[in-house]
């Protein structure tokens, strides 16, 4: 064991907020790259629009609040929020939707509560939910992976789709999503939910077009989605490696989603989405490593983080399996954000030098805090 001879504090490395934010954004790059590879340039355009709007909104509001806006802009927190929002919004969503979302995230969900460090709800997810309940049609129009699409699209098409609603050749997003046989293609989770409700079995569903990827590791998963999730998982491991997040939150969430899914799957394997599909589709990995690990809105103690993560995972499982929406990361995160004060209250760590806090002592301590 290496002993340090200097006096405390023994922090070897101190990262500023802006460094942390930038590193998190850096580690999201693999996920974004893979998403771009499979789904086209829409995600990059979303991130760019959201980023610009978020930074401008942040600057204007901080100026109005008579704060030092340069310093606050430099901490990149608005950019990170915009990045997460841009990833979550479907590619080729109309530009004004991204603008409304980014504005709402920064102005209402973050700055109205007091700015960085004071917001109760995850800004990116709040904005996502606002968009989802306001514009359900556009928010569920997720274009299929490029290789399934009948119409090829490039960067110009993506830009033109975002700003005018049509590609340069005049196809709309709906047409992009339409298969050769006239069926609109949905995301794997959506498709699975619909077909399960129609009485198909899981093994039948995984042989449909959306899931087949023969002779591949990703067989049985949604095309593209598996690799996007893997990429975010890799980014997540890097986050852990660089000590940017604790393992408690992601592990809690993956357990909260995986265990009940496994249980249900064991009971009735043909009417439930398999646990692996749960873990590697939709926004699971992005949520587990990048969204719920927001230090402001998550629980603060390690035990609390496990509970918070587990709660998010469980809610995702419940809503995906029994609710009306195909994916539910945003709703679950917001619902658990509301529970954070309660979780924090009941998981206060023992003060060093004291035995486990008893109710009486806890009361005394409260008095001392004032």
Partner 1 sequence: MTEYQQLTWQGLWKNNAALVQLLGLCPLLAVTSSVVNALGLGIATTLVLIGSNCTVSLVRNLVPNEIRIPVFVLVIATFVTIVELLMNAYTFSLYQALGIFIPLIVTNCAIIGRAEAYASKNPLKQSAYDGFIMGMGFLLVLVLLGSMRELLGNGTLFDGMHLLLGDWAKAMKLVIFETDSPFLLAILPPGAFLGMGLLIALKNVLNQRVENAVMGAQQEKIVSRARVTSES
* Residues in contact with partner 1 by the rule CB under 8 A: 100, 108, 130, 133-138
Report the nearest approach of partner 1 to the CB of residue 43 (Å). 21
100/262 with CB nearer partner 1: 100
76/119 with CB nearer partner 1: 119
Report the nearest approach of partner 1 to the CB of residue 134 (Å). 4
Give the Cα separation of 176 and 151 in Å (integer): 6
133/266 with CB nearer partner 1: 133
Structure tokens at 29: 């790059």
Structure tokens at 186: 């949905």
Residue 293 burial (10 A CB sphere; 0-12, 13-18, 19+): buried
Task: Give φ, ψ of 184 to 5 degrees.
Answer: -80, 135
127/316 with CB nearer partner 1: 127
117/136 with CB nearer partner 1: 136
Report the nearest approach of partner 1 to the CB of residue 79 (Å). 24
Report the nearest approach of partner 1 to the CB of residue 61 (Å). 14
Report the nearest approach of partner 1 to the CB of residue 340 (Å). 20
Report the nearest approach of partner 1 to the CB of residue 186 (Å). 19
Report the nearest approach of partner 1 to the CB of residue 135 (Å). 5
**Radius of gyration of the chain, Cα coordinates, nearest whole angstrom:** 22
98/138 with CB nearer partner 1: 138
134/150 with CB nearer partner 1: 134
């Amino acid at each position: 064991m290496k002993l340090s001879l200097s006096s405390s504090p023994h922090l070897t490395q101190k990262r500023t907020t802006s460094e942390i934010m930038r590193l998190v954004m850096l580690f999201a790059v693999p996920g974004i790259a893979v998403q771009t590879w499979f789904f086209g340039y829409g995600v990059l355009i979303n991130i760019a629009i959201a980023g610009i709007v978020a930074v401008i909104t942040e600057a204007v509001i901080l100026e109005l609040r008579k704060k030092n806006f340069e310093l606050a802009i430099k901490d990149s927190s608005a950019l990170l929020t915009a990045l997460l929002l841009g990833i979550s919004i479907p590619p080729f969503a109309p530009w004004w939707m991204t603008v409304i979302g980014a504005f709402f995230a920064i102005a209402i969900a973050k700055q109205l509560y007091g700015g960085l460090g004071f917001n109760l709800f995850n800004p990116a997810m709040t904005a996502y939910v606002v968009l989802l309940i306001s514009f359900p049609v556009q928010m569920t129009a997720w274009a299929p992976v490029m290789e399934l699409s009948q119409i090829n699209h490039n960067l110009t098409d993506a830009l033109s789709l975002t700003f005018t609603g049509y590609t340069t050749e005049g196809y709309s997003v709906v047409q992009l999503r339409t298969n050769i046989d006239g069926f609109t293609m949905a995301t794997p989770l959506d498709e699975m939910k619909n077909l399960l409700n129609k009485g198909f079995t899981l093994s039948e569903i995984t042989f449909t077009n959306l899931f087949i990827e023969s002779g591949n590791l990703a067989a049985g998963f949604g095309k593209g989605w598996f690799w996007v999730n893997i990429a975010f998982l890799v980014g997540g491991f890097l986050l852990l490696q660089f000590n940017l997040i604790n393992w408690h939150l992601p592990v809690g969430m993956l357990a909260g989603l995986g265990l009940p899914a496994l249980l249900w799957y064991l009971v009735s394997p043909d009417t439930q989405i398999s646990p692996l599909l749960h873990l590697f589709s939709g926004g699971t990995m992005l949520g587990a490593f990048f969204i719920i690990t927001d230090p402001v809105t998550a629980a603060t103690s390690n035990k609390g983080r496990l509970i918070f993560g587990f709660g998010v995972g469980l809610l995702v499982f419940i809503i995906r399996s029994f609710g009306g929406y195909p994916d539910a990361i945003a709703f679950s995160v917001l619902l658990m954000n509301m529970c954070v004060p309660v979780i924090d209250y009941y998981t206060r760590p023992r003060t060093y030098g004291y035995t486990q806090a008893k109710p009486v002592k806890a009361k005394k301590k409260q008095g001392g805090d004032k």
